[in-house]
Structure 1
Amino acid sequence: MPPTSNPPVTAVVAMTPSGVIGLEGTMPWRLRQDLQRFKRMTMGGVLVMGRKTFDSIGRALPGRRTIVVSRQPDLSYQSVDVASSPDAALQMGGQAPIYVVGGAEIYRQLIDRCDQIFLTRVLSGVAGDTELELDLSDFRTVEQFRVPAGPADAVPTEFFRMVRKRRSENS
């Protein structure tokens, strides 16, 4: 029997150029096109998120398995798995593609395990109370496009698909 490989792990994050990812427990923008892209990209996969992120969504998203990372051992949600650590969440994910979807602490703990990043840069100076600083030097952009502001999205965005560089590319 051939050895099994680990499933791909992808961080999916929307943030401003200054690193804002949240305000009062929610995203401080409404980007319909980005949410539609998020749904298309993650459908059939496993979403790994922190408890606060899950609480802000309020439910498991259809068509995707949800694993919530929490230090609370007795935490339980309907139709959601709970992991005691980010590593445990990755192990629980099985062989389906895994999408790390927040919040800031989960991104920081799992970025070194990610094979790629789907980054939406929200081109806005919106203020927030949750920020994220990502070191993207180990990743290279393989796809990039701009989405102008319009009826669906109040502010313009840029989308980047970035993949982890091979060791030879980092030298």
Structure 2
Amino acid sequence: MLTIIAAAAENNALGKDNQLVWHLPDDFKRFKAITSGHYIVMGRKTFESFPKPLPNRTHIIITRQKDYEVPEGCLLASSLQKAIDLCPKNEEIFIIGGGEIYKQSIEIADKIDLTRVHTTIEADTFFPEIDTKKWELVFEEFHSKDEKHDYDFTFLTYVKR
């Protein structure tokens, strides 16, 4: 199963200057719980936005750079399809960004785990539109802003129709 996991504002903003534009600890906890123990597929810029590889996950980094050096335990692929081919066949695989990789994967994904951040924010990277004719909302959980979260947000899960 191919699952896209992302956090996007109401205008589909994902980030700016290769950084997230909010800090939502509960979203980070959910991301960790959902992706731990799995293969995570990402573009090079997304990988480079991390201080180090995320623990307890196998990273597959997509880049066209032939001589790109990856840390031990990380895998390299030159395309989304080649990245998917490196993953175990009967396990859930997570697409974790960035914008271009989401765009390439939305047609072939089986599920979307989206954190909808209830704000409109300036960004340079965006999540693709979710076509509700192709995707069915099967889970929705609202969270109010609080002392740790500057924005209201909703966890949403979509499955392909």
TM-score (norm: length of structure 2): 0.94
Structure 1 residue 127: Cα displacement:
1.4
Tell me which residue corresponds to 1:131.
126
Number of positions where the alignment pairs a residue of Structure 1 with one of Structure 2: 158
- Indicate the RMSD between aligned Cα atoms, in angstroms: 1.1
Match 2:93 to one of 78, 92, 98: 98
Tell me which residue corresponds to 2:9.
16
Answer with 1 or 2: which has the greater Rg: 1
Identity %: 31
Higher normalized strand content (fraction of residues): 2
1:150 aligns with 2:146: yes
Higher normalized helix content (fraction of residues): 1
Tell me which residue corresponds to 2:54.
61
Q: Gaps (5+ residues) in structure 1?
A: 1-7, 166-171
Structure 1 residue 134: Cα displacement:
2.1
1:120 aligns with 2:112: no
SS at match of 2:45: helix
Q: Deviations over 1:24-82 (max 9, x none)?
A: 11010000000000000111111000000000113211111000000011112112111
Match 2:158 to one of 141, 162, 170: 162
Tell me which residue corresponds to 2:105.
110
Residue 111 of structure 2 aligns with an amino acid whose one-letter code is Q
Q: Deviations over 1:68-121 (max 9, x none)?
A: 000011112112111010000000011332100000000011111110000111
Q: Gaps (5+ residues) in structure 2?
A: none
Residue 38 of structure 1 aligns with an amino acid whose one-letter code is F
1:52 aligns with 2:45: yes
Tell me which residue corresponds to 2:75.
81
